[in-house]
Structure 1
Amino acid sequence: MKVLVTGMSGTGKSTALQILAARGHRTVDTDTDRWSHWVRLPDGSPDWIWREQAIADLLAGHDGGSLFVAGCKSNQGRFYPQFDHVVLLSAPADVLLARIASRTNNPYGKRPDERAAILRHLATVEPRLRATATVEIDTSAPIETVVQRLEALTGRHSDRVRPG
């Protein structure tokens, strides 16, 4: 089972993957140089996209258990047919901004221009993700509930999941 976990900054993708990994699932956060790289778009603007060969190899090489891949890249749609589920994690703007302001493991979203970009993407990118997702999970719920819903997609439930 291959599950793409996507969504805006602050929705909890990385946190959910950390918990899933601790429960024995294979997880890949694509926000690293191994999986993604910067390119210049025709208009000259930068874009942080998936390294397509690396993602193709990852998905083709996965043959057992569940794989959760997290990311939100402009070229991820090319890989949707290779995933069993495309899960959109979402939350209200005030929840996202509060999480981003308090997180210590990622500097993105601390500057006013980055926060403005996050709100812009919430209005323009998230609706496109929603239109192509197979499942949407509201991450204003407790993280245990979010992880339980992700695990349920694979048909595997952890005994460590507590009702949320």
Structure 2
Amino acid sequence: MSRVLVTGMSGAGKTTLLAELAGRGHHTVDTDYDGWVLPDGTWDEDRMGRLLAEPADVVVSGTVENQGRFYDRFEHVVLLTAPLEVLLERVTSRTTNPYGSAEGDRALIEQHVTTVEPLLRQTATAVLDGRLPVSELADTVEELLARDLP
């Protein structure tokens, strides 16, 4: 059983990567949806604890303040990254998520690139370039999942 966390800034490609992995038959959880994040912006710790206690492979995506509390339950923490200009272009043009369409959102993303992303980089077990084709990114995550098979 293997657990992978895919984290990174808004617009890095986390949701796209999870969709590709789900299409390949992997169990995925995008914590931006379905009530995983509480009003204070943190993960629902009880719910996340239950998910990670299940005896199954799972790829989780999200970037929240309390994610570090769960790092010991992930075999891999993958930072998906891209240059700021790429992130801003993506969040401005996407139609599936309104975050990033407002100027204040984009200013916060810019701030997080300089303050949060370096912290994520320090704790990541792998750093992937979100500009790569999603199929290549998914291949890499699948390799990480396979490493931990008995």
For this structure pair, what is the TM-score category when the shorter chain's length is used for normalisation?
over 0.9
Helix, strand or coil: the match of 1:50? coil
Unaligned regions of 5+ residues in structure 1, if any? 40-47, 157-164
For normalisation by structure 1, the TM-score amounts to 0.86
Task: For residues 28-80 of structure 1, give each alpha carbon's deviation from its aligned partner in whole angstroms, at most 9, with x where no partner exists.
Answer: 011135211112xxxxxxxx11000000000001x13x310000000000000
Shift of 1:143: 1.3
The match for 1:148 among 127, 139, 144 is 139
Letter in 2 for 1:19: E
Shift of 1:144: 1.2
The match for 1:58 among 16, 38, 51 is 51
Letter in 2 for 1:13: K
Runs of 4+ in 1 over 4 A off after TM superposition: none
Q: Which has the larger radius of gyration?
A: 1
The match for 1:128 among 111, 119, 133 is 119
- Number of residues of Structure 1 aligned to a counterpart in Structure 2: 146
Higher strand share: 1
Structure scoring higher RCO (CA < 8 A, sep ≥ 6) equals 2
In the alignment, structure 1 residue 12 sits paired with structure 2 residue 13: yes
Unaligned regions of 5+ residues in structure 2, if any? none
Letter in 1 for 2:104: D
Alignment map for 1:93-104 (pairs within 5 Å): 93-104=84-95
In the alignment, structure 1 residue 73 sits paired with structure 2 residue 64: yes
Helix, strand or coil: the match of 1:36? coil
1:144 to 1:33, Cα distance in 2 relative to 1, 3 A: closer
Q: CA RMSD in A?
A: 1.1
